[in-house]
Each structure stands twice: as C-alpha cells, then as structure tokens.
Chain A
Amino acid sequence: MADALLEMRNISKSFPGVQALKGVSFSVGKGKIVCLLGENGAGKSTLMKILTGVYAADSGEMLLEGAPVRFRNTRDAHERGISIVFQEFNLCPNLSAMENLFLGNEVRGALGLLSYRRMREQALAAFRNLRMDIDPEALVKELGVAQQQMIEVAKALSLHTKILIMDEPTSALAEKEIANLFSIMRELRGRGISIVFISHKLNEVLEISDRVVCLKDGENSGEVATKSTSVDGLVMMMVGRELDHMYTRRKGKPSGEVVLEVRGLSSPPAVKDVSFKVRKGEIVGLAGLIGAGRTEVARLLIGADRKAAGVILLNGREVRIEHPADAVAHRIGYASEDRKQLGLVLPMTVRENTTLAVHRRILNALGLISAPRENAITDDYIEQLRIKVSSREQVTRNLSGGNQQKVVLAKWLAVQPQILILDEPTRGIDVGAKAEVHKIIADLADAGVSIIMISSELPEILNVSDRILVMHEGRLTADLPREEASEERIMKAAVA
C-alpha cells in the first residue's frame, strides 16, 4: 500500500524461549478501521506494543506517513499520534473522571496550581465529543464499565491523534454499549482517525472493520477486505482450517430431576427476588446486560456475598451456604469471569491451582500433602482438558487466557461438582480454546453435572444452553426453553 498512514515491515521480535513475531507486516490506511485478528498468543499484543513503543523490535522497520520512525516509549508514540486503549483499564478508581482524564497532563491555572474549573470545562467538552454523558466530577469507581472505557478513549485521543489502537474494547460491554462504542468509532473514522481494532468476536469484526489482518503463531496468516469475507472465512484465516461447527451441540439431555432450587434470592439492589430451578445435567444459560445482577446471583449462591433473603434447596433439601467453603462442601463450583483476580493464584503453579479447592483429597495418612496424589490429579485434568503447559510446574501467570481458563475449570472439576457456575467462561479466549471450552461444558452436562452459564454473548447462550434465564435490573424477566429462545426474545427480556 503506497498511501498507507502507517506501515510496519518485516517486524521480528523474540523473548527468551519464544519467537513472538516472525517478519510480520502490517499497515493502516488513513481513516480506516483495521481489525487485527488472531488467537491468543498469535502475537497481536506484541505487535501493538512495538507500535506503541513498549517494546523495541529486533528487526524490521516502521514508516509513519512514509518516514521511518522508532518510538522509545509510549509517550513518544503518543506524541507522534499513536495511542492505545488497553483491554484492562488503567484508571485510578479513587479519582474523579476529569482527574483521570488529565492525569499526567494536568490543567494548571495561575501559580501553577490545578484549575478545577478549566479542567471541568475541558473534560465536559471531551466527553461531549464522544457523545458520552459523564459527570466530570464523578468518581471513576462509581461509573459503569462503558463510561470508564470512554474515559480511556478520551484520554487516548488528543488533537493530533492519527491512530487509535483498541485492544478488545468490547469484551466487558453489553450489546447496547457495544453499539454505542461502534457509532463513536465510525465517527472517529469520519474525522480521519485510523483505528486498529483487536477482537475475538467475529461478528463485531465483520460489522465494524474495513479490513482484517490476521496473525497466527507470530506470522501473517491472511489479509482481506471485510466486505469480501464471512465468519467462516475469518475462522479459516485464524486457525488455518474450517471449523464445521463453532458450537458443540451436546448429545445428551437433562434428566427431570431437580438438583438446585432457588427461592426468593435477594440482595437489593443487585438481586431482587430471584427464583429458578436447575435439573440434573442441564445447561442453564443466564443472559442479561452487564450490571443486570447475574454475577451477583452466582456470588450469593456460593456464599461469597451475604444474601438478604432467599432459600437454596439442593436435591430437595434446604442448605445453608454462608461461605464459599460451604459451597465447595456441597460440591458447587464457581468459575469467575475475572480469571486473574478471582480465579487463579497467578504466582502459583498449574498443580497448586488445580488442587487448591481439594486439599483434603491430596493428603496422605500423616496429613501431609502427597506429591504422587497431587501430581496424578493434576495430570489427569491437564490431559482431560487438554491444557497446553510445558509441565504441571508452570506458573499460571505465564499461560494464555484459554489455558488459564482451563486451569480454573480443572480446579472446579477436581471438586467433582454437582453444580458448576461458569461466569463468562469464554471471555477473552481465542476461537480454538472457546470451542474446546464449549465441548467441555457439553461433556460435563452429559456426565450429569448441572451447569449455570453466565454469558453476554448471545450466540453462545443460544447454542450452548438447554434453557435460558434472562435478568434485567436484578430480576428474572424470562425463562425460555432453547427451542423458544431467539436473540430478539432474549434482548427484549434483557432490556425491559
């Protein structure tokens, strides 16, 4: 491309033991939305970190508007018009929206002191620019995810921004918020700003991007104009083979026997009077917008938070669950949406994480941890779940998102659960691993485990679940068998 705004040629980068990028080329035209696609570990993040000056490339060159450039750090890149919004937000929750917006770039008045009046004005203008109604003085911790993200976007944008990189910007957003984000992205494009969009959600990629560049194992594996491709085409570029089914339909059927019954579960304002039943071997999808109270229901069920009211019956008998330990004792597992913060002990090994909830099972007669037993359990799940690790002693911090998720699953499978609550089980993991997780879920249900799956991805909810519950503002608003469910019906129940 001769008229490319930015061109990266033959970029290579290796880390100790890993060749992360092998001669990758990437270019962005002015006022275009380019999607960078690839499985986790394909090298997307590394490439973007080189573009923004976090890493230096081992070899290759970068041209910005035709002139060679080299960035020493992110600030350098930012000054030349390249900004990034990371998937994980970098905001100070204890500061206000405007204080975050101008962090490191404070607006000063007379005497060099901060001028809150001018900061407020400028912040309002910046937010209005993005069509966001955010009170500049609201504390960030009190804002929603979508609003926090807009603060990040506003922070990244400046008068001379040429390229905005967004790393999985939709992963934490609900449908409506995504639509809003996309309209803002289109508007930015209209102003001549180029956007590099990293996402795993292929529908979104098709909807928003002009062109798709795909990486696989640190190499270019395809590039296509979005108009001329489809989901299947994208999948083929990513994995190098066409998956005949993105979703595994389970073979078995739930039995009639009710395992879990919840009556009047409440913890206002997040959860209000929620009642439902789950049958043995049933996959129940829990849908709703972000903030509808789905995660809160899960946390109440396992005793992570205190409930104001409600009764939980297991196999027809009322049980008291006041602490996650009670839930584990009743063989109820909860794999959180937030793997890094709530799922894994990152500095610990795959082995230590796998057995974290079942220490009793690995003790020998003397009450000491038996290495053979522990290793056997770990190896069992590494094999069963096809966790890709160099050894069971690998530290979980260094695993890819998909493999981290599998370790979390292994931990809960070790409990031999009768009920497994999976909160966004495939968020932020690549297509291949996603299909594997769906297969694992189907197999578990076939083996008689009852599953409650919280998901914000409607296709996932529709394809994986036997029955779908929908929440809106803390209440259950629909209970649909799979046959009666459709994206429209779920969305309708989720918004009203």
Chain B
Amino acid sequence: MTNDHTPTSSPAAGAGPPEKPSRWAWVLRLLRKKEAGILIALIVLMALISFLKPQFADPDNLSRVCRQVAYTAIVALGVFFVILTGGIDLSVGWTVSLTGVICAWGMGTTAHSYLPLLEWGPLAGVCMGLAAGALVGAFNATVVCYVGVTPFIVTLGSMQMANGLVYVLTRGENILGVPKAFGEVGFGTVVGVPVPVIVLLLLAAAAHVTVTYTAFGRRLYAVGGNEEATRLSGINVRRVKFLAYVLSGLLSAVAGILYVAKFSSGQVDVGKGMELDAIAAAVIGGTSLMGGEGSVLGVLIGAMIMGVIRNGLVVMSVTPYWQQFIIGAIIVLAAVLDYLKSRRR
C-alpha cells in the first residue's frame, strides 16, 4: 500500500501555502489527506486485534489476510469506477463466478475436445474469462447508458442472469481440469509476495493513474459530480459510463481468474455475495455512493479494513453469526460517517 501512496502525495498536493520543510513535513501532509482517518482506523484496528490475540500479528496470518483481501479489493476497484459515476454494479459477485467457470472451462480438457484451437494453454482460458467479464459489463452499460434504466435494477437483474448462467454452464458442479502450472503461478508467490497481491498492487497503481491523471478519470468524477453539466461541457457522458461498467466487469474477471488459480478449478459459488463486500470496501474507503468522490487508496484501505475485521473475528473465535452482524454494523457505520461528512460541507 505504501508503494501506491508515494505518487499520490507529492504531485497532487499543489494546494495550500508552502510550509517550512521539516523532517516531519511528510507526516503532516499525510495527516491532511482525506484517507488519513481511515488509515488511522485501520492501524488502530490492527493494533487492537494484535493486542487481544497476538497470533493475528503473525506474519503468516498477515500474509493470509492480504491474500484474502486481494480478491475483494480487485472487485472493489471495478465497482469503484462505477460508483464514481454515481452508478452501482451489483453483478460483480456472480460475474466473478461466471468468468471463473468460463476461464476454467477454457483451460480444461473438455474444451480442447470441442475446440482444438484452445490447445495453446491457459492463455485461452484467461482471455475467455476476461472477454466474458467485459461482455457482462458491456451488457450492463448498454441498458444503463443507452436505454436509461437505473443501474441498481439493471445490475440486480444481470446479477441473477450471471448466477443463472453459472448454473446452466456447470449444472452446479465445479469445473475441473485446470492445468497444475496455472495454479502454481496464480496462487504462488514472487519474492515472498503472493501473486494475487502483486496483481492487486499493479491494478491499483494503474487505476490510480487512470482516475488521477487521465481525461477519462477526471470525467468519471465530473459525471458523478454533475452529469448534466458535464454533458453540456461537451463530454460524451455515455461513453464515460460505458467504459466504467466494462472496467468493472473486467476487474471482476481478473478476480474470477485468480480464484481459478487458487482452487485449480472453476468454483460455482466463489463470487456469491462478493458484490456486497466490494461495495462496502469502497464506501468504507470514502467513496461516495452519490458519485464524484473517492480514491483508489481509500478503496484499498477500505478493503483492508473489511479483511482485517473478518480475519480478526475468526482469530478471536467469534461465532460466524455474530461475525456477519458485526460486519453489517460496520458497513452501516461507514455509511453514517459518509453522510455526516457530506452534510458538514
């Protein structure tokens, strides 16, 4: 996370009077950033859990937390694009399953007997998974942008469609036959860092550059801040929103593919309910559900907070029922804080 942070603070902090450079100036600058509050919350939370249950702070456990967080965070980054425009994407969870299943099928032996062209290894499966994700996104985008239906209901429907498709394709059974090597790469480590975490960090860096330094990114915020004013400024709002939904589908597919590596199979239920964790991570990270506000760093911290709480509750042997309750309560809390923050303006 620190990797991602360095580029944020220096060029973006153009505002404000120049202060006397001191050894601790960077701390002050950090504290003044919007993400400072939740970052402190995360640190306090981790310290608290480590104090109560020292085994939480065990490097193996922390690595496990990061690995678990990576999948949710990747999906959350996708939803983040959509929420920035003032929309929502509920279909991401089942898209993870759908793309995973399609990816696994594309890699599997069954596929080879149908389509000999797929002989060229796991790449075909990956491409098929990504294409499926982009297609789900394009479908959502078409109905939202060109027909004009509310994103909530469109993606609620396409979530069920993706869910249905998963069962149509698999009849409820996980898809096996994924090459062993793919699992070893996709669930392995590079210099000790789990591959999903590396993928997440690369994607987060790319997402950060996109929202901060590209015209498309600027337009995401503008559309979420005032769609009509943006349109009247000569910006093709539909295209901006379209791309956001496609990116959301694509990033879900990345998570789906990484899960295929983790389980060496296409798991039917793996993405079930993930949309809620992803949206919660974005909101906890300061993304406004009204659109136009949020940052990649915030989303990462938000996902981390969700992951730490989940793991912490397990480490502290809280019963699963109470775990669910507590996580729900934290989401409500985050929403309340978001509301208070917007009212103070």
The distance in angstroms between the C-alpha atoms of A334 and B234, with both chains bound, is 10
Q: Which residue of A lies closest to B210 (CB)?
A: A368
Cβ-based interface call for A216 (8 A): no
Which A residues are CB-close (under 8 A) to B221? 345, 348, 352
Q: Which residue of B lies closest to A393 (CB)?
A: B15
B213 touching A369, Cβ below 8 Å: yes
In the assembly, what is the distance between CA of A325 and CA of B232, in Å? 8
Q: Are A347 and B231 in contact (CB under 8 A)?
A: no
Name which of A96-104, A353-361, A465-473 contacts chain B: A353-361
Stretch from A200-208, A309-317, A335-343 at the B interface? A335-343
User: CA A323 – CA B11 in complex, angstroms?
Assistant: 35
Contact at A324–B218, with CB atoms within 8 Å?
no
A344 on the interface (CB 8 Å rule)? yes
**Are A363 and B215 in contact, with the CB atoms below 8 A?**
yes
- Within the complex, the shortest CB–CB distance from B54 to chain A, in Å, comes to 43
CB of A352 within 8 A of CB of B222, answer yes
Chain B residues with a Cβ closer than 8 Å to the other chain, count: 27
- The answer to the question of A90 belonging to the interface, with a C-beta cut-off of 8 Å to chain B, is no
Q: Are B293 and A347 in contact (CB under 8 A)?
A: yes
Judge whether A359 and B345 touch: CB under 8 Å: no
Taking the closest CB of chain A, its distance from the CB of B345, in whole angstroms, is 7
Report the Cα distance A81→B89, complex, angstroms: 49
* B59 touches A (CB below 8 Å): no
Q: How long is the Cα–Cα vector from A327 to B236 in the complex, in angstroms?
A: 12
Q: A347-B293, A369-B215 are in contact. Are A327 and B234 (CB under 8 A)?
A: yes
* Interface hits, A359-409 → B, CB 8 Å: 359-360, 363, 367-369, 371, 375, 391-393, 395, 397
CB-defined contacts of B228 to chain A, threshold 8 Å:
341-342
Nearest A residue (CB) for B15: A393
Q: By the criterion CB–CB under 8 Å, are B226 and A341 in contact?
A: yes
Residue from B215, B229, B293 in contact with A360 in the complex, judged by beta carbons closer than 8 Å: B215
A329 within 8 A of B: yes
Q: Is B209 an interface residue (CB 8 A)?
A: yes
Please, which residues of chain B bring their CB within 8 A of the CB of A326? 234
Closest to A368 in B: B213
Report A-chain residues with C-beta under 8 Å of the C-beta of B214. 367-369
How far is B11's CA from A336's CA once the two chains are assembled, in angstroms? 33
Tell yes or no: B319 within 8 A of A by CB.
no
Are A324 and B234 touching (Cβ within 8 A)? yes
Tell me if A346 is interfacial: C-beta within 8 Å of chain B.
yes
* Closest residue of B by beta carbon distance from A394: B15
Q: A334-B232, A341-B228, A369-B214 are in contact. Are A375 and B222 (CB under 8 A)?
A: no
The 10 closest A-B pairs by CB, nearest first: A328-B234, A393-B15, A359-B215, A345-B225, A368-B213, A357-B233, A345-B226, A325-B234, A347-B225, A356-B233
Given A323-B234, A356-B222: 18 more A-B contacts, CB < 8 Å: A324-B235, A334-B232, A341-B228, A342-B232, A343-B229, A345-B229, A345-B292, A347-B293, A352-B221, A352-B222, A356-B233, A356-B235, A357-B235, A368-B209, A368-B214, A369-B218, A393-B14, A397-B345
